[in-house]
Structure 1
Amino acid sequence: MTPGRRPDRSESFGEALLGAVLDRAHELPPHLIGPLVADVVKLLRGRRPQVLLQDYGQLLLVPLSGEGLAEGEPQVIDGSEAGRCFLDAIPVEVPEDDGVRVHLPLLDGGDQVGGMAVTLDSVDDDDRRLLHRISGLVADLLVTKHAYSDLFFRVRRGEAMSVAAEIQWSLLPPLAMIMPRVAVAGILEPAYDVAGDSFDYALNGDILHVVMIDAMGHGLDAATMATVAIGAYRHARRADVGLSEIYDFMDRAVAQQFGPEHFVTAQMMQLDTGTGEVQWVNAGHPPPILVRHHRVVRRLTAPTTLPVGLGGSEPRISELKLERGDRVLCFSDGLVEEHYTGGEAFGEDQLIDCVNQLERTGRGIRAVTRSLSHTLKRARGGHTTDDATLLMVEWRG
């Protein structure tokens, strides 16, 4: 640019395309996201646009309805091109008779909202760049508008959901977070009837805070206790206190609210994402598993204290230095104690075998966690009489 000359600020095609989303996003009602996507796709001379949302069972991608959006049946995640795009978080291009069908992941902070699909006559690098940016804006819109509408919840709900499960899903953070230094992915079963299991996490500066809990009992009582436990955990965490103080605060909150006969098992962790140093406290929870070089290398057995609510002594803090690529898998006891009537429990050994098999695929943490949960459910004959929850943390270095 010649010194003294003002830069060219005229609107390019790409700016106009993205501006069509940005200019309308602020006051856009949730039900008009679909039509907005359709309008933008038309500017690219695209056809048959779809916005696909993951169902709560993590089995299907369900099309969002809206003027200008293509109709269609839900697509099974496993084995479909849309599912491959969704699981691996990569664009997938499929040649068709009338052009190229492009599937794009809808990512928000690493969480996988769903997918977007559109058909173009042909695809070049300019199309790929614009579609990538459009899909990012659409993902952000879905996440922000979800907070004050039931529309997306209804699309994602594949069957009737219990009141306890409604409470638990409203309590959860995003099921996945993928960042340069650290990744987190979790899944709950039974998705539509979960009650006492829950987890939470927060990335504050370099420190990742994680908790997994299992409240005793079933139904609304367990969901209510889990809500108090997670609320107490968040309150203490946000006060920037250590793991021992967090345990003490949760313990007193549950005891005061529910009395001495009720308790919540818990696993609390803090990971320094800069160094890989992890600290944890185990309050009556199954010990987590360490995965290194795509294989389970040990159970992280450590001193435990009583479950939250039973007035345990000050917990001992355990420590470990992770290596780059290490994954720590936390799970609730419902995952390994499930059994047929009169039969043996599923057991940690079978869990470890399943982890080793799936880790050999080399897939990302979100895909592995989802596949592991579904594999374990099939191995149990499809039975889930107790909550069965997984939460995996990967230190990426």
Structure 2
Amino acid sequence: MMRKLRIGMIGYKFMGKAHSNAYRSLPMFFPDAVKPEMTAICGRNEDAVKLAASQFGWMSTETDWRELIARDDIDVIDINAPSNAHKEIALAAAKSGKHIFCEKPLALSLHDARDMLVAAEEAGIKHMTGFNYRFSPAVQLVKKLIESGRLGTIYHFRAWFLQDWIMDPAFPLVWRLQKDIAGSGSHGDLGAHLIDLAHYLVGEIDEVIGMSETFIKERPLAEVMTGLSAKGNKNAPKGKVTVDDATLFMARFKSGALGSFEATRFAAGHRSTNSFEINGSLGSVKFDFERMNELDVYFTSDDKDVQGFRRVLATDPPHAYAEAWWPPGHTIGFEHTFIHEMLEFTTAIAEDRQPEPNFRDGVQCQAVLEAVECSIEERRWVKISEL
């Protein structure tokens, strides 16, 4: 069994830091796992990427992703650059025989996402899409409850991802608000996570109908952008916001279950409320990532005098990943989902299987995203099979 994987990472800001932390932490807490070797990090700004390499623990730097991919001391290409760069980098990495980890959304369009999947499969490489919320122990518990039948027939999946970080009209026009770079706004950034959780837990979506709104049409041009923060002058020239600020849609699953989805960056007081509720014939579950170690569970089989939602703390065995972390009741955080994600990725490569979620899941998510956009434009129900 291989003992290490040499990583070349493209991107060094928000997700770059999260991925770097995961690579560094993985061998400490999962000593039997394949060790990621942080070989090279790549970014266009030479000074900034060198600083990131020093801070995060990378061995070398590149300023041209093509040179990174061409290196013979790299096994894996990790793509966490903006969405408009994903396809070109992934196609080149696949052609060179490198395994690929790519952040979501997989691409700017379903057509591009499908091209990426075809290239990866033809190259025979391993590929993974970065849907990290699957790897919360509480979400893993939901999966277990559904697959074991303890929630019965699933009737409803309702989900909402609420943020408020761009509510100020003077907040600068960052790349996430530009369609040609990001692909979409809250829909693709936040809604993509909800869609993947729905696919993972409930199954494929059959048809959708949606609506969206851009509340602030223009914003001052940004001077500095870092992750979800930015600096600018409110009196600076303005640019057009070309993505949605909020998108809501309803869905019907192939199983017959019904779904509702809400993604917005205009929910005052919600820093990052990523939540869902699932209702089945034998029970229900409620999850909120702001309290990610907890799951509210209800079973209809409980005696009537004690029926009600119970709080389950998913921090100790037999809950997923618990054996690697702290004593019972000692919680974990956002960064741990990435560590679990990288555990799946590196283990799958070592075991010669495709990791989950992979590019197929990324394509499936992209199909729903585009079906919702089509529905909004044409004001009708849209079947995923139409695309």
Q: TM-score, normalised by structure 2?
A: 0.30
Bigger Rg, structure 1 or 2: 1
**Greater RCO, 1 or 2 (C-alpha within 8 Å, sep 6+):** 2
Q: TM-score, normalised by structure 1?
A: 0.30
